[in-house]
Amino acid sequence: MNTQLLSIKAKKFGVRLAAFRQKKGLTTEVLSTWTGISKEKLQAIEQGESTITLPEIEIIALKLGFSTETMIAGDLQELLANKPDQSAVQHYAGLRDRMIALILRKTRLEQNLTNDEISTRCSLEPNELDQYESGNKPIPLPILELLCSEYQIPMLSLVPQKQEETTVPIENDSSSEFQESLPDGLSDFVNNPANLPYLELARKLSDLDAAKLRSIAEGLLEITY
């Protein structure tokens, strides 16, 4: 048995495992908790000091959200190069902050509650609540839970519903032909995975009727200006 070859292969897979784990922003401690594989063994695998079995790869792939084939033979350079667009993430977070703020403010007004009343109940400064309701200040999760409790609405009702499928299979060439007809800048935007939140939001807005869209637009203008 060629132990040197086995050592090289172990080190190569260790680099792959570390890259996939880091792509998900996880520590070895968290991955250990998710998979039941000890932290020490995961660290040894990543350092090429220990080998891994196929069932263990399957478990890790499942928990990380990759296919086993990708974990074993996927293009590692493409994975490392496909970093999230930080500006797109920040824009999405800012938009979501404003939408949540609009819902909370609308709920408070519908329940005929004043800013001072809610601020007192939640031990907040009135100006602080104003910042949250304007979308200018992100709402920490504990405070969001407290506000939802005061308004008697489920916090998870603020979470956009997930699509049943994250990808749509192409059954004919019409989709690719459509994408080829797009201007270069727009085509790049559509094909960038980091922009999926924007596309999903646009899809949901397209399903609303004109009255609802007008109501949302008016609300956003109120909290913006």
- 8 A C-beta contact, residue 162 and residue 152: no
For 33-85, the pLDDT digits (tens) are 999 999 999 999 999 998 888 899 999 999 988 888 888 888 877 776 666 56
Domain presence at residue 134: yes
Domain presence at residue 221: yes
Q: What is the pLDDT of residue 149?
A: 92
Q: Are residues 204 and 133 in the same domain?
A: yes
Q: Are residues 106 and 38 in the same domain?
A: no
CA distance 34 to 39: 11
Query: By residue range, what is the domain housing residue 68?
Result: 3-81
pTM score of the predicted model: 0.47
Q: What is the CATH number of the domain that holds 89?
A: 1.10.260.40
For 161-206, the pLDDT digits (tens) are 653 333 333 344 444 444 554 455 555 555 665 566 656 666 665 5
DSSP state of 208: S
CA distance 33 to 11: 23
Q: Shortest CA distance to 201 belongs to which of 57, 94, 72, 52? A: 94
Within 8 A by CB and 6+ apart from 64, the residues are: 20, 21, 24, 26, 31, 71
Q: Are residues 38 and 117 in the same domain?
A: no
- The one-letter amino acid at 6: L
Radius of gyration in angstroms for the set of CA atoms belonging to the chain, rounded to a whole number: 24
In whole numbers, what is the pLDDT of the chain averaged over residues?
77
Residue owning tokens 């797009």: 182
